[in-house]
């Protein structure tokens, strides 16, 4: 419903995997949900027991290897989703904020991106200082990042 009313909306979420009792079927259901929903931005983290919490005593915790693999599988799927979404921005003009300048290259982010955790837009031909907004035309989408 949100995407129908706001086509350019970015929906973000974070998942924790490996909680005690999480089965292979539970994880498969999560993967189907992620691939169907196509979140604009998503994080995935491994459950780790904290001493003194009730959850640290729950049985049937997936192995560390299983949890690591699940986090990687979630993020691999999400990276593919982001790249496919980014390709749709090629040729479009987007508003960015400059976060930093490294060797004359402006490292920016769009309105969809949180600082230090999300994708960036690399702009070589703008004039702006960190903290300033600019409008740039997207020329490429490589991996998770955009280039102008």
Neighbours of 71 (CB within 10 A): 19
Neighbouring C-alpha atoms within 13 Å toward the C-beta of 59: 0
Interior/surface letters 118-144, b for 16+ CB within 10 angstroms, e for the rest: bbbbbbeebebeeeeebebebeebeee
**Cα–Cα separations (whole angstroms), residue 118 to 30, 71, 74, 115:** 21, 17, 16, 6
* pLDDT tens digits for range 75-92: 999 999 999 999 999 999
pLDDT of 140 > 90? The answer is: yes
- CA nearest 144: which of 111, 117, 105? 117
Average pLDDT over residues 85-113: 94
Total-model pTM = 0.84
């Amino acid at each position: 419903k949100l995407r129908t009313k706001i086509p350019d909306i970015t929906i973000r979420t974070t998942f924790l995997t490996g909680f005690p009792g999480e089965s292979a079927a539970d994880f498969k259901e999560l993967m189907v949900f992620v691939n169907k929903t196509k979140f604009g931005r998503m994080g995935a983290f491994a459950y780790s027991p904290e001493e003194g919490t009730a959850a640290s005593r729950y049985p049937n915790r997936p192995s560390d290897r299983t949890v690591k693999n699940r986090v990687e599988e979630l993020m691999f799927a999400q990276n593919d989703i982001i790249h496919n979404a980014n390709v749709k921005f090629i040729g479009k003009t987007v508003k960015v904020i400059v976060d930093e300048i490294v060797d004359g290259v402006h490292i920016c982010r769009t309105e969809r991106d949180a600082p230090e955790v999300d994708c960036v837009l690399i702009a070589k031909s703008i004039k702006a200082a960190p903290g300033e907004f600019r409008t740039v035309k997207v020329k490429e989408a490589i991996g998770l990042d955009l280039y102008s």
